[in-house]
Amino acid sequence: MKTCRGGPPRILEWILGFLHADRGEFTHLGDFHEGYDEILGKSGPAAARIWYVSQVLKSIPGFVRVKAYWSVVMLRNYTVISIRNLIRDRGSSLINLIGLAVGMACFLVILTYARFETGYDGFHEKADRIYRVLSRSEGAGSGWTTDTSDLLGSALSSRIPGVVRAALVYPAPGDVILEFGEGRFSQTGCFADESFLDVFSFPAIRGDGRSALSKPSSIVLTESAARKLFGREDPVGKVIGRRSMGGRRELTVTAVLKDVPQNSHLRFDYLVSLETLRAGPSASNMFGSWDICYFTTYVELAPGESRESVEALVPAMMSRAAGSDRDRSFMKFFFQPLKDIHLRSKGISGDSSDGDIRYVRLFMAIASLILLIGCVNHVNLATARSSVRAREIGIRKVSGAYRTQIFRQFLGESFVTAAAAGGLALGLIAFAVPRLNGLFGIHLRLRVFAFDGLGLWLAATVVFVGFCAGAYPALVLSGLRPVVPLRDYAPSGKKSAFLRNLLVVFQFSSAVTLMSATIVVLSQMNYVRSERLGYNREHVLVVPAREQETMQKLPALRAAFEERSEVVRAARSGSLPTRLGVRYSGMEMAKDDGTKVRLNFDIGYVDDHFLDVFEIGLAAGRDFRPGDKDVVLLNEAAVRELGWKDPVGRKFLGGPKEVVGIVKDFHYGSLHNKIGPMALFYDPGGAQISVRVRPGDLTGTISVLRSVFERHVHGQPFDFYFLDDAFNALYEKEVKTGRIFGAFAVMAVLIACLGLLGLTSFNVSRRRREISVRKVMGASFSRLVCLLNGDFARLILLANILACPVAYYVTSRWLREFAYRVPLKPWIFLLASLLSLAGALIVAGWETVRAALRNPAEVLRHE
Amino acid sequence: MRFLSRPEELILLAVWHLKDNAYCVPIRAYLNKFTGKTWSFGSIYDPLDRLEKKGLLESHLSGPTRTRGGRSKRMFRLSPAGRLELCEIKALQECMWNEVTDLVPERQEA
């Protein structure tokens, strides 16, 4: 290879030049060049190149030594300078630090929460291959439901090759009593078939998990249930009693499982084998028909099998369904991924998960906003301070500092601040999380040192904040021309002032948006709860029967309750307005004009007192009467869907049940869903008594009811709940969410105000002399305050004007997801604006008033 | 007088000897010639820097030349202190060596 210029290869020379940064000159390179040429002349290019490379390698240790030495020297200098600066502007530094720390703490807490929510069911080994089968019938008003027939599971696993196995679960309604010896405990649980423990990873700590659920009369306990019943004994092989509505059954404990993790959508204290149910008396009502849907089906797909390809095979299977006399292809199925169940199950009937991806997203958005607002504080203060640091930078530059050095210096300072804020944030989190858990009813655990835990995220946040908050000021400051700051005392920095204003506007618009959103969310939640339900939920006590003996006493008990003067009415029913009962899906019915529609009916089982107790009105026809047979009440929504002109007296589902009356629409279940077609069946054999009591002395009334109950029923303790509480439980999550939302919105506003405080106090301190001179020249107090506050007030006004449309858009989009929503009124946005303006004025006003009140002599004395 | 290390002393001598052409490459060549060993550039830069810091050498940049990729040379020259130092070293050594009259290498037994 011949190079016309001679000398060593350029790349090597470049590396050597980098390593030998001798006083910024390149005389050494020249020397090496000559050395190279000499060897080239003597022993050829190969030897020369080898020699040169060896020179490169040899210079590395020295390079490292020099670098390390100088970085320590400079670091010492930087540290000293930044500590001096921090101390000089204690107030604003502290504000900055607190703002960042609070922002980071909020962000990390919400992040932990969001990760907890999105990590639901991730602990199952096959989590990616497990799906819950949702079904739906073609037709109006039919939504997805988790309820499927028991035939579905076996059909899927036997006829579709991609499905490895299917697990069936039947959630036992309500609590049951488990007893062993003297111990009796009320527990919740499920019936599950034998493949359940194969599909899901609930490891057994005692007994064999695989075969534990294969035989009838087997029960599997969780660790804590086992401890309650057996203490330290080994429960495997022991026989325990399970008392429920169906009577008492003896079950053999076959295994003990580890407790169900917090983040599992399946929750149970015990599992009973499905075979138990199959062998039981009510088996014929539950099993063996495609029309009876009691079970939740989970399928496990083969590894690598895609959901779509398996789903595509289902319609063909359903058209020739085993055990069915007709084409079932009108039933649609959807495989819902296991990990989606917790957060993406809104509107699926039969689902009990309370997560909501919308809230998780909302929270993440808030968290990021809060963090950003904190960063903005830092940026603003740093650029504002640039006039003070300008001279330092000028000196550094004149003394030969490179721009990158100054850039790195300021970025480094920002990282140090971020790290300090991170430490503070950690303290805040450790302090706040246990309290938050209590307040919001969530279960966050702190795992600072776990690899994927808080620690890593904290580090990431520190780096992110350090860079975000530091990059811009560092860029601006390092770009200052040395002449300017050294000549004039204060550079005007128009550009950075503009940016500062922009950022303040951004902060306050986000704060106002958040605040308006909070108000909207809270008022929506209030609205939901105060919405006319169509029934009266107050002053109703519900007394459930827990076992069969109590069930037999219920008629007498109901009558005895009604005899008391404290009781208005008592009804016995299987359903409550908060929780109706089963859903009949895809019912084919004829309209008046002969066309057929498919409807989903929610069915309630009630007696002839039910409408009176809950004060549900009748729109037409009559209420149930004692002794009625084959009668049904429809709601107005059902009549509307059916388009029946004269519904009373017609046959329901083609008979034998006859429609005797139409009840006015009332909200059964959650207000998230629209009122759909509903039918009430006459059933005087329900398992609970609802008692409407007279308002007034509630404790007295309860003790009266207790004595009546205890006279009639032995064995079961008197327990009851208020319908109101059950109703509120439907919205518990929402209330908590509202609280969290509100708390974090307040945080955002506070941090923004903190930033403003820092900025004003800094500005005021810079203008102290100006203020004094003005005062001496005769400026009035009010003029001074106006002068100092005018800028910020204008900015915040602008922020409000910008924020309102954004807030309107965001909140109206959010509200669109509710079936019943609060109207958006202008006062919401006005209130948020006023609050932010008031906050800002108080914060900024405090500083400015203090400055304006100062005696000018004190300030000017030092001149 | 300060005590210098042997390389420093040799380099100081080389600078004196080379007069106006005293920069790294000729110094190295001079040392290589007299000691019969290959001196690396690094083993010359360090003593040069040290000597300059001690005030025994002065340096300036020459104009760029074509032969070395257009780079300038750092030329060295003895400072008055350096000159004095060399004289003192010479005096000391002559003085001490004069005492040594009968020094010969020990004969190796075959």
Give the per-residue pLDDT at A130.
93
Nearest CA in chain B to A4: B69
Burial class (CB in 10 A: 0-12, 13-18, 19+), A856: middle
Residue B82 structural domain: 6-95
Cα–Cα distance, A77 to A409 (Å, whole number): 10
B63 touches chain A (CB under 8 A): no
Cα–Cα distance, A653 to A600 (Å, whole number): 12
Give the per-residue pLDDT at A2.
40
Estimate to the nearest angstrom the gap between the alpha carbon of A411 and the chain centroid: 34
Q: Which residue from A524, A560, A493, A842 is spatially nearest to A707, judged by alpha carbons? A: A560
| Confidence check on the interface: ipTM exceeds 0.85, yes or no | no
Q: What is the dihedral of CA A336, A342, A348, A352, to 10 degrees?
A: 130
Residue pointed to by tokens 């219920």: A554
Q: Which residues pair with A597 in a beta bridge?
A: A589
Cα–Cα distance, A567 to A583 (Å, whole number): 32
Angle at A724 between CA A718 and CA A730, to 5 degrees: 110
Asked whether residue B110 is assigned to any structural domain, the reply reads no
Is B47 within 8 Å of B72 (Cβ atoms)? no
For chain A, first and last CA: distance in Å? 73
Please list the rounded mean pLDDT of every run of 10 residues in chain A (863 residues).
59 78 70 84 86 84 81 85 81 84 88 84 90 78 77 87 90 78 82 90 86 88 89 87 79 91 88 87 79 86 88 83 70 88 79 77 86 86 77 83 85 87 88 76 62 75 86 81 61 65 87 86 78 82 81 86 88 84 73 78 87 88 85 88 82 80 84 80 85 87 88 80 82 76 83 84 79 85 82 85 89 80 84 85 82 80 68
The identity of residue A15, as a single letter, is I
Asked whether residue B74 is assigned to any structural domain, the reply reads yes
Q: Which residues pair with A679 in a beta bridge?
A: A603, A634
| Per-residue model confidence as pLDDT tens digits over A343-363 | 888 777 777 777 778 788 888
Residue A617's H or E segment, with its range, is: none
* CA distances, A134 to each of A145, A335, A350 (Å): 5, 6, 10
Angle at A597 between CA A596 and CA A603, to 5 degrees: 130
Would you list the DSSP string of A405-453?
HHHHHHHHHHHHHHHHHHHHHHHHHHHHHHHHHHHHT------SSSTTS
Phi, psi of B72 (to 5 degrees): -80, 165
Q: How far is A48 from chain B (nearest CA, A)?
A: 14
Is A232 within 8 Å of A155 (Cβ atoms)? no
The structure's pTM equals 0.71
Asked whether residue B82 is assigned to any structural domain, the reply reads yes
Taking CB atoms and an 8 Å cutoff, what residues of chain A touch B43? none
Taking CB atoms and an 8 Å cutoff, what residues of chain A touch B69? 5-7, 13, 29-30, 33
* CA distances, A17 to each of A12, A26, A63, A402, A730 (Å): 8, 7, 11, 17, 72
For testing the chain B interface, which of A13, A31, A33 should be mutated: the one with the most B CBs within 10 Å?
A: A31
Q: How many CA atoms lie within 13 A of A676 on its CB side?
A: 22
- Contact (CB<8Å) A27/B73: yes
Asked whether residue B106 is assigned to any structural domain, the reply reads no
Give the per-residue pLDDT at A485.
59
- Contact (CB<8Å) A55/B41: yes
Is A514 within 8 Å of A369 (Cβ atoms)? yes
Cα–Cα distance, A201 to A222 (Å, whole number): 13
- Contact (CB<8Å) A5/B67: no
- Contact (CB<8Å) B68/A26: no
Q: How far is A854 from chain B (nearest CA, A)?
A: 57
B25 touches chain A (CB under 8 A): yes
- Contact (CB<8Å) B24/A26: no
Give the count of beta carbons closer than 10 Å to the beta carbon of residue A808.
17
Cα–Cα distance, A632 to A325 (Å, whole number): 28
Q: Which residues pair with A239 in a beta bridge?
A: A252
Q: Which residue from A36, A818, A57, A699 is spatially nearest to B67, judged by alpha carbons? A: A36
Residue pointed to by tokens 């030349």: B65
Maximum Cα–Cα distance across chain B: 58
Q: Specify the 3-state DSSP secondary structure of B28.
A: helix
Q: How far is A77 from chain B (nearest CA, A)?
A: 24
Task: Say how many domains are in chain B.
Answer: 1
Would you list the DSSP string of B41-81?
SHHHHHHHHHHHHHTSEEEEEPPP-TTTTT---EEEEE-HH
- The chain A residues in contact with chain B (CB within 8 A) are 5-7, 13, 22, 25-35, 37, 55, 58-59, 62
User: Which tokens sit at A394?
Assistant: 């000028």
| Per-residue model confidence as pLDDT tens digits over A78-107 | 888 888 887 877 777 888 888 889 889 888
User: Which tokens sit at A234?
Assistant: 């080994």
Is A828 within 8 Å of A815 (Cβ atoms)? no
B90 touches chain A (CB under 8 A): no
Angle at A324 between CA A322 and CA A330, to 5 degrees: 100
Give the per-residue pLDDT at A740.
79
- Work out how many CB contacts closer than 8 A connect A with B: 52
Cα–Cα distance, A840 to A850 (Å, whole number): 16
Burial class (CB in 10 A: 0-12, 13-18, 19+), A820: middle
Give the per-residue pLDDT at A3.
43
Cα–Cα distance, B44 to B12 (Å, whole number): 11
Give the per-residue pLDDT at A1.
39
Q: Specify the 3-state DSSP secondary structure of A351.
A: coil
Cα–Cα distance, A500 to A15 (Å, whole number): 42
Q: What is the dihedral of CA A799, A805, A809, A812, to 10 degrees?
A: 110
- Contact (CB<8Å) B69/A13: yes
pLDDT above 90: residue B24 = no
- Contact (CB<8Å) A31/B40: no
Asked whether residue B107 is assigned to any structural domain, the reply reads no
Q: What is the dihedral of CA A287, A291, A292, A293, to 10 degrees?
A: 110
Non-local CB neighbours of A752 within 8 Å, separated by 6+ positions = A373, A377, A507, A508, A510, A511, A836
Per DSSP bridges, beta strands A596-606 and A678-682 are parallel
Q: Which of A30, A58, A62 sits opposite B69 (nearest CB)?
A: A30
Cα–Cα distance, A108 to A692 (Å, whole number): 47
Give the count of beta carbons closer than 10 Å to the beta carbon of residue B25.
21
Estimate to the nearest angstrom the gap between the alpha carbon of A446 and the chain centroid: 17
Give the 3-state secondary structure of A141-192.
Answer: CCCCECCECHHHHHHHHHHCCCEEEEEEEEECCCCEEEEECCEEEEECEEEE
- Contact (CB<8Å) B67/A29: no
Q: Which residue from A107, A109, A835, A102 is spatially nearest to A519, judged by alpha carbons? A: A835
Domain CATH code at residue B52: 1.10.10.10
Is A548 within 8 Å of A850 (Cβ atoms)? no
Give the 3-state secondary structure of A218-258.
Answer: EEEEEHHHHHHHHCCCCCCCCEEEEEECCEEEEEEEEEEEC
- Contact (CB<8Å) B23/A27: yes
Q: Which residue from A379, A334, A389 is spatially nearest to A146, judged by alpha carbons? A: A334
Residues recorded for chain A? 863
Give the per-residue pLDDT at A491.
47
> What letter does residue A579 receive in the DSSP assignment?
B
Cα–Cα distance, A135 to A147 (Å, whole number): 7
Alpha helices (H) along A267-306: 274-279, 283-286
Q: Which residue from A700, A580, A682 is spatially nearest to A626, judged by alpha carbons? A: A682
Taking CB atoms and an 8 Å cutoff, what residues of chain B touch A37? 67
Non-local CB neighbours of A459 within 8 Å, separated by 6+ positions = A422
- Contact (CB<8Å) A33/B73: no
Taking CB atoms and an 8 Å cutoff, what residues of chain A touch B45? 22, 28
Nearest CA in chain A to B49: A22
